[in-house]
Structure 1
Amino acid sequence: MTERANVNVNDPERWISVILGSAVAAYGLKSRSLRGLAIAAAGGALVWRGATGHCMVYQTLGVTSVPDAEDDSHVSVPYGKGIRVEESVIVNAPPERIYAFWRDFANLPRFMQHLESVDVHDDKRSRWTARGPAGTTVSWEAEIINEIPNELIGWRSVDSSQVDNAGSVHFTPTPTRNATEVKVILRYDPPAGRLGARVSKLLGDDPALNVQEDLGRLRMILEIP
């Protein structure tokens, strides 16, 4: 049986996953082809999601759809709350190089315009400090919760942080030689009061545009001969 801490999918979603997954798997098996086997495997993954109540995508983002999980230590931003941003860029560099550059968190302030510093504590945890309006700063502790070398880094803020946030960066090779799609998914849940106002100013009117510009700077750095 799945441990409660690992359940991040609510009951309605679980039932839908099992029913839909079973139908998809049955359809795939009937076709008796390689394509059918792939479809059946996708259906099986949905059934597994429903049976276990665990979604790897939710885990990567540090989110949950379980209503009573807001205080769960495994979740930073409850599902459906906060600000969600997803942006990507094509960088003319291999995934291994981009991953290594990003994984050294001290490099992040070089292209993230609002980030002042990242102090690395150990292989998993670090402290991020961002510049706010009028010389103020906003800080939070972050930990890596999912990592596949050269493919994925997922992180979330820890419980004591000023700003609840979670995110992931994906490195996907493109058909073009030595080119990589870098996709970033972020969630923020700004607090109330003055701190929340500072965070909102930091994110700006268009958080997606900020991320686009950050990724543009990343591309410029990595494409310099």
Structure 2
Amino acid sequence: MASETSQDDAPKQAQRDDKDGELAIVGRSVTINRPRHELFAFWRDFSNLPQFMHAVEKIDVTGDRSSWTIKAPVGQHVTLETELVEVVENEVLGWQSVEGSEIKTKGRVTFEDAPADRGTVVSAEIGYEPPGGDLGRLFAKIFRAEPNIQARHELKRFKMLMEAGEIATGANHHANDGEH
């Protein structure tokens, strides 16, 4: 009988895409061949997240609050403020936007030991409600990829960073051709 385990880094069976109140929720999971406590510690320092989250330029952390600067088209930025709402050491991190943020968001990441000593299963559920008006249109441009695809790619980049120490890209860099 064929194994239910997929070679996909963010398998479809772990996907979740539904509504929680007014927030659209996107969920994905990935197995990373690293110990749970290492992955949790890396993610717990939100200032690390821009290393694999494509649209996030920087995150400034002050205690349990974070200020996220998100890249926008034409050199613009959107800022949102979040606070930690759930922390279970080496198991769960949960956050949500604070009152007055330009974007309403919440997220929850869980870390579980993978079967057969294969590392850690990292599951992320991210919810957001883009604002209306011009800011909403800007937000839609920033996150032009379908949310499930974007969540999948971010977890795959996290996996590459944690397992290989870098994120492989398929981009050709012609600007430096001929320079050695």
Question: Partner of 2:129 in structure 1?
Answer: 189
Q: Which has the larger radius of gyration?
A: 1
Q: For structure 2, which runs of at least 5 residues remain unmatched after alignment?
A: 1-18, 166-180
Q: For structure 1, which runs of at least 5 residues remain unmatched after alignment?
A: 1-77
Cα pair distance change 1:174/1:93, threshold 3 Å: same
Q: CA deviation at 1:178?
A: 4.9
Cα pair distance change 1:79/1:212, threshold 3 Å: closer
Aligned AA for 1:139?
A: T
| Higher RCO structure (Cα 8 Å, ≥6 apart) | 2
Matched residue of 2:116: which SS? coil
Greater strand share, structure number? 2
Q: CA deviation at 1:200?
A: 1.3
Residues 48-81 of structure 1, C-alpha deviations (whole Å, 9 max, x = no match): xxxxxxxxxxxxxxxxxxxxxxxxxxxxxx9431
How many residue pairs get matched?
A: 147
Q: CA deviation at 1:157?
A: 0.3
TM-score, scaled to structure 2: 0.78
Confirm or deny: 8 A CA contact 1:93 1:180 kept in the other structure: yes
Cα pair distance change 1:125/1:211, threshold 3 Å: same
- Aligned equivalents of 2:127 and 2:59: distance in 1? 18
Question: Partner of 1:105 in structure 2?
Answer: 46
Question: Partner of 2:119 in structure 1?
Answer: 179
Q: Alignment identity in percent?
A: 37
- Aligned equivalents of 1:148 and 1:172: distance in 2? 12
Matched residue of 1:100: which SS? helix
Q: CA deviation at 1:188?
A: 0.5
Residues 64-112 of structure 1, C-alpha deviations (whole Å, 9 max, x = no match): xxxxxxxxxxxxxx94313211111110011100000101111100000
Where in structure 1 do 4 or more consecutive aligned residues deviate above 3 Å?
none
Question: Partner of 1:70 in structure 2?
Answer: none
- Aligned equivalents of 2:164 and 2:125: distance in 1? 25
> What's the Cα RMSD here?
1.4
